[in-house]
A and B are shown apart, each in its own frame.
Chain A
């Protein structure tokens, strides 16, 4: 197991260095001065420029340049935003938790809806129930997420007036920024009605999480359905049936586990889709996450923010993928060999 973890770590480090290389290349590929794109400082002052060139080691050999960049990234000195002048590290600490929060809620919804629906469709395979679940999932999966998000807003916010339109929590609640996860921050905050704030927050997150979660739920349901059908035809299930075990026991002890095992790595691929969708939905619901942040950066041609945003999001995706793979390895007793570690 240790060897596997070390192997994953190495893989993580190598992939990360490639990404860092790419983000460094971005600074040179974007229009404008590479130094401005790296540091975010726009100035004509020769002394300041010299200091910055020194700090980012821009005129040294490429290896030193890259190592210096890595060390600055590790120190948390990510440069400042060209437009707002904020420290990018602080900006990221503010927006990334919001995105992760939305992704977690959506993943939760995807699992809570997708897995049971997939199981039902798999058990009732090739019946009307199966066909209707299948049809619903295809329709949901093929609907673009921004369109279904807009439809949700139109129906639930404007016509039915059931849910609030935007944001994470009503502006009336003054929640100081501590962890960045608003549900946790509510419980850390002082002098507010925590219960009311909590309910308000839940109310706000229903629509965006549903919009993102349903797409992944549809994909997950189809994966689980296929897998359940496969497992139900396995000889050990007929063996369990011939042993006279009740179907409930067979399903929960043998079918569920064996059908979810092959789904897990496939679901891990869905994490990328989930985060991308979350970033799109953030824009629709004015959720203060990294998607919104990046879109603003694109509009304002804030190249230093774009460079860091891309790096942070891809690091997040890689870490989650590796984590899911590692989890799969821990759960699945059959996977033991070190050699097939990969992303």
Chain B
């Protein structure tokens, strides 16, 4: 059974009296111990999915789904208290910008200690529990690669760098011993060295503790080596989903192909000084999305049928939504 199972998730946001479909029938599954990449360009709704999963949606957003379950529990129809417990114990979210996701007026040590669920703190008296919390905090900081634990614990968020901050966010996610870490673009704006360290850290956690990871990013290069499977999102629609190696080798959807082609390292046959292929145009704003397949206007293979939303088709583990997929010409 998949850990997180989302089927046909639709999110409507009211805007100037109309409802805008920010997410249109998105499907996403994360299995236990898997690293799943969620890829798409900026504005494709990746972060919105994270918000919906974490349950921090504003009250006027309308979330509907055929299925949105966590370990068999329906996330859309459980009590707020139970949802809170799940978020506290089983799902951990690492946000994009660590420096705004940390309280500026509280020392980092205290913030990490606060994230440790009470059930994980043993000790009869409060000083024993406090010592326990401190011990857990220090060991977790070591695990995420921070050696100067005292210095970090005693600083305020504005005194640390983004790289350290992202490690701290990871440490805060880890202290609850979650089953899944949802990392919302944790490497944004980082230089390659720090980025590699963070990615290695996530991979290591996945291997040693079998934590599932949902890695949300637009950086294909960074995740291609670590993810097992990938879901590609375009403008609030799931485009293609499947095993990483299949998607890389034989993408069926034109958008996935464009995405992979635009990353030069995946191409061996690129001759000297050729222009990198890229889709023309840019992702449409949510206020005026095209009908049918939202890639339509930008798609090189688009035909008349594309004004209808393609239904997802499935070949083994590989799902795609396209009327005219690559490699599978109609006869």
Contacts and interface: CB of A to CB of B under 8 A. Distances in A.
Contacts of A241: 54-56, 87
A261 B105 contact: yes
Contacts of A334: 104-105, 156, 158
A135 interface: no
B114 A245 contact: yes
Contacts of A257: 105-106
B38 interface: no
Contact of A236 (B51, B89, B101): B101
A239 B95 contact: yes
Contacts of A332: 105
Contacts of A261: 105
A242 interface: yes
A254 B105 CA distance: 8
Interface in B39-53: 51
Contacts of B74: none
A333 B56 contact: no
A14 interface: no
A253 interface: yes
Given A242-B54, A333-B156, A258 B95 contact: no
A240 interface: yes
B8 interface: no
Given A242-B54, A246-B84, A333 B92 contact: no
A235 B95 contact: yes
B182 to A, nearest CB: 9
Nearest to A333: B156
Contacts of B139: none
A243 B88 contact: yes
Given A238-B56, A334-B158, A245 B104 contact: no
Nearest to A246: B84
B103 A254 contact: yes
Interface residues of B, number: 27
A243 B105 contact: no
A43 interface: no
Contact of A258 (B56, B103, B176): B103
Nearest to A233: B58
B114 A253 contact: yes
B93 A236 contact: no
A104 to B, nearest CB: 27
Given A242-B55, A242-B93, A243-B115, A333 B88 contact: no
Nearest to B169: A239
Interface of A: 234-236, 238-246, 249, 253-254, 257-258, 261, 332-334
- The 9 nearest A-B residue pairs measured at CB: A244-B88, A244-B87, A242-B54, A239-B101, A235-B100, A238-B56, A242-B93, A333-B156, A244-B84
13 contacts: A234-B100, A235-B95, A235-B100, A241-B87, A242-B54, A242-B56, A242-B93, A246-B84, A253-B106, A254-B106, A257-B106, A261-B105, A333-B104
Contacts of A333: 104-105, 156, 158
A241 B84 CA distance: 8
Contact of A243 (B92, B97, B100, B156): B92
Contacts of A238: 51, 54, 56
Nearest to B81: A246
B88 A240 contact: no
Nearest to B83: A244
Nearest to A331: B105
B213 interface: no
A333 B159 CA distance: 10
Nearest to B57: A238
Contact of B85 (A242, A244, A249, A258): A244
A246 B88 CA distance: 9
Nearest to B92: A243
A97 B54 CA distance: 56
A236 B102 contact: yes
A235 B47 CA distance: 13
Contacts of B55: 241-242
B297 to A, nearest CB: 33
B86 interface: yes
Interface in B58-101: 84-89, 92-93, 95, 97, 100-101
A239 B106 contact: no
Contacts of B115: 243, 245
B172 interface: yes
Contacts of B158: 333-334
B101 A235 contact: yes
Contacts of B103: 236, 240, 253-254, 258
